[in-house]
């Protein structure tokens, strides 16, 4: 589940950043907002996978025999649809988005700050670094 989440988050962040900050200058507010929105998008779109994963992780604790017998992604998906319908795949999407947004905003803001710091320091050293930049 981490791979699709990261792929969606990265794609959304890059797309939002291009729209919100076409000059690509360091702008902490833009990076924070774009990071938070990218995390919200990725969390929302991967929630069905998270619901399936949760069923598989908690099946041993379930009092329902049918849940304990689930052994695959497809089996968990069939059980969710049977029990809750299609809306069952989005169970918990609001809290997931709300908890993901701050962490992805902080992550992207920190990344962009570090990137700006290193770019500035490399420019100031005027190519004298051992990296050949």
CA 17 from chain centre, in angstroms, equals 16
Instruction: Provide the whole-model pTM.
Output: 0.83
- List own/partner pairs for 7-15 with CB under 8 A and 24 or more apart: 8/41, 8/42, 8/45, 8/46, 9/38, 9/39, 9/41, 9/42, 9/104, 10/38, 12/37, 12/38, 12/41, 12/42, 13/38, 13/104, 13/108
Domain limits, the chain: 2-111
In 3D space, the residue among 54, 132, 57, 119 whose CA is nearest the CA of residue 91 turns out to be 54
The closest of 48, 46, 56 to 76, measured between CA atoms, is: 56
Distance CA(21)–CA(117), nearest Å, equals: 18
- pLDDT tens figures, 53-106: 999 999 888 888 888 899 899 999 999 999 999 999 999 999 999 999 999 999
What token pair was written down for 68?
Answer: 């304990």
| Average pLDDT of the chain, as a whole number | 91
């Amino acid at each position: 589940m981490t791979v699709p989440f990261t792929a969606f988050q990265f794609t959304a962040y890059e797309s939002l950043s291009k729209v919100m900050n076409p000059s690509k200058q360091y702008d902490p507010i833009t990076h924070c907002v774009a990071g938070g929105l990218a995390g919200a998008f990725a969390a929302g779109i991967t929630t069905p996978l998270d619901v399936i994963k949760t069923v598989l992780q908690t099946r041993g604790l379930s009092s329902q025999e049918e849940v304990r017998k689930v052994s695959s992604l497809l089996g968990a998906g069939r059980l969710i649809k049977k029990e809750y319908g299609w809306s069952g795949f989005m169970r918990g999407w609001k809290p997931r988005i709300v908890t993901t947004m701050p962490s992805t905003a902080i992550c992207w803001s920190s990344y962009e700050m570090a990137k700006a710091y290193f770019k500035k320091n490399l420019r100031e050293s005027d190519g004298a670094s051992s990296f050949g930049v």
